[in-house]
Amino acid sequence: MPLAADLADLPPERRRTLRPLEPCGRAGLRPSRHEAEAGAAAQGPLLDLASNDYLGLACHPQLQRAAVAAISRDGVGAGASRLVSGSRPVHEQLEQALGAWLGRPRVLLFPSGFQANLAAVQALADRHTLVLADRLIHHSLLVGVKASGARLQRFAHNDLTALQQKLERARQEAPGRRLLVLSESLFSMQGTSPDVPRLAELCRRHGAALLLDEAHALGVLGPGGRGLGHGLAGVSLISGTFGKAFGSGGAFLAGDVLVGDWLLQHSGPFRYTTALAPPLAAGALAALEWIRHDPDRGLALLERARRWRDGLEAAGWPRPPGHGPILPLLVGSDQRALALQEALERAGMLSVAIRPPTVPEGSARLRLVLRHDLPAGSLERLLTALGSP
């Protein structure tokens, strides 16, 4: 069978496994009892340098109380799609609150970011569209392009001069053609961000729609944590998730009334799926209120990220690019990335080796992720465990 052959050809350093971990207090994870008994993991708690819970909200009492209240009121699951009987008041409350916070007239919730990105691309592109996408965009966006039937061209990562040249050439070749640009405000494996104001202006000038994935930026980057696309007229549609800085789960699209209504009437990823679980929506709404009233926590996290970058560079490691809470430590080979992952775990820290095909060949890395609730001295522990470059 082709499946068996594909698996047989997979080298050991590229094989993935599922690993159960249990929260155990401040910014910590503990291997499951079964795993610990099997001797497959370090004993004791692991400092979490891997998850995307940037603001430490996933176990925040305010979110937990909101989720428990939603379970008592609405049940664990919605039981149906939004267009059947799955809509709950908490869904509408969250959509309206997000719209007001982001300055976007229409917001629709989705059970996952993957579904939201599929829906977004299909709303803005069809087989007559040319899509210009950053070479390192998320896989879900590429799947959306394929599903839409659009033609795809890639441009070098965050290279807006290359994008401008492609936009100019596209307009010369077919002045009336639909154009869609895909990018992210904070790339999850690179830690980098484009010049979003320039990106939006390029799209506006050339009449191209811009879909900006803000999944990893919301809550941390931009004014009040509203993302790097906030307030920019050239951004047609924003994709965001609740499973990162919001500490919950699910996702949303935020745009204008026209795109929102099209999604409601035509989007398969929205219409043909069970609605976002009410406890997750309630948790996300509580997180939004928390972020609105304490925007300085995101700024403090960015300042801490700067200190970590300075410390890693001073210790002789390549300075992680970007300025957000994602700090990729590029080491090159899969084997070295895995060896560093194991060294950190022996020292009581969890950071996962990211290998191809998630990242380009030869660019395996440790993906270090900062959380607001990391204890003091975490950087020093990390540098000791990493040793010499």
State pLDDT tens for residues 122-150. 999 999 999 999 999 999 999 999 999 99
pLDDT value of residue 42: 52
Report the C-alpha gap between 119 and 112 in whole angstroms. 11
Question: Mean per-residue pLDDT for 305-324?
Answer: 96
pLDDT value of residue 9: 86
Report the C-alpha gap between 236 and 223 in whole angstroms. 19
Positive/negative CA dihedral, 76, 259, 219, 365: positive
168 with 222, same domain?
yes
Task: Report the mean per-residue pLDDT for the chain.
Answer: 94
For 211, the 3-state DSSP assignment is strand
Catalytic machinery residues: 52, 138, 184, 188, 213, 216, 244
Q: How many CB atoms lie within 10 A of CB 255?
A: 26
255 with 189, same domain?
yes
User: Which residue in 250, 181, 190 sits closest to 215, CA to CA?
Assistant: 250
241, 215 contact by CB (below 8 A): yes
Report the C-alpha gap between 274 and 68 in whole angstroms. 20
236 with 145, same domain?
yes
Report the C-alpha gap between 202 and 181 in whole angstroms. 10
pLDDT value of residue 117: 98
For 384, the 3-state DSSP assignment is helix
Q: How many CA atoms lie within 13 A of 168 on its CB side?
A: 6
Name the pTM for this structure.
Answer: 0.93
230, 265, 293 — which closes off a domain?
293
Q: How many CB atoms lie within 10 A of CB 312?
A: 21
Instruction: Kindly calculate the radius of gyration of the chain based on its CA atoms and give it in whole angstroms.
Output: 21
DSSP string of 249-307, one letter each residue: --EEEEE-HHHHHHHHHH-HHHHTSPPPPHHHHHHHHHHHHHHHH-THHHHHHHHHHHH
pLDDT tens digits for range 76-91: 999 999 999 999 999 9
* 108: pLDDT strictly greater than 80: yes
User: Which residue in 186, 196, 211, 228 sits closest to 102, CA to CA?
Assistant: 228
Position 367: which residue type? R
198 with 345, same domain?
no
Alpha helices for the chain (secondary structure H): 2-8, 33-37, 61-74, 89-102, 113-124, 139-148, 160-173, 196-205, 257-266, 268-271, 278-293, 296-314, 334-346, 378-386
Characterize 241-253 residue by residue with b for buried, 16 or more Cβ atoms within 10 angstroms of its Cβ, and e for exposed: bbbbbbbbbbbbb
Position 216: which residue type? H
278 with 319, same domain?
no
Q: CATH number, domain at 378?
A: 3.90.1150.10
pLDDT value of residue 267: 96
Chain centre distance of CA 214 = 7
318 with 332, same domain?
yes
pLDDT tens digits for range 184-215: 999 999 999 999 999 999 999 999 999 999 99
Q: What are phi and psi of 11, to 5 degrees?
A: -70, 155
Question: Mean per-residue pLDDT for 28-50?
Answer: 71
215 with 309, same domain?
no
Report the C-alpha gap between 378 and 384 in whole angstroms. 10
When divided into structural domains, the chain yields a total of 2
50 with 79, same domain?
no
User: Which residue in 83, 106, 72, 95 sits closest to 275, CA to CA?
Assistant: 83
pLDDT value of residue 214: 98
141 with 184, same domain?
yes
pLDDT tens digits for range 270-289: 999 999 999 999 999 999 99
User: Which residue in 266, 211, 202 sits closest to 236, CA to CA?
Assistant: 211
Indicate the pairing of strand 28-31 with strand 46-48: antiparallel
Cis omega (within 30 of 0) for bond into 357: yes
User: Which residue in 135, 263, 132 sits closest to 209, CA to CA?
Assistant: 132
Report the C-alpha gap between 379 and 187 in whole angstroms. 23
208, 167 contact by CB (below 8 A): yes
179 with 280, same domain?
yes
pLDDT value of residue 29: 82
Domain that holds residue 341: 2-59+295-386
252, 271, 293 — which closes off a domain?
293
pLDDT value of residue 311: 97
Of 23-27, 44-48, 189-193, 316-320, the range with the lowest mean pLDDT is 23-27
169 with 86, same domain?
yes
209 with 281, same domain?
yes
Report the C-alpha gap between 213 and 239 in whole angstroms. 5
293, 316, 339 — which closes off a domain?
293
Between 4 and 384, name the one with better pLDDT.
384
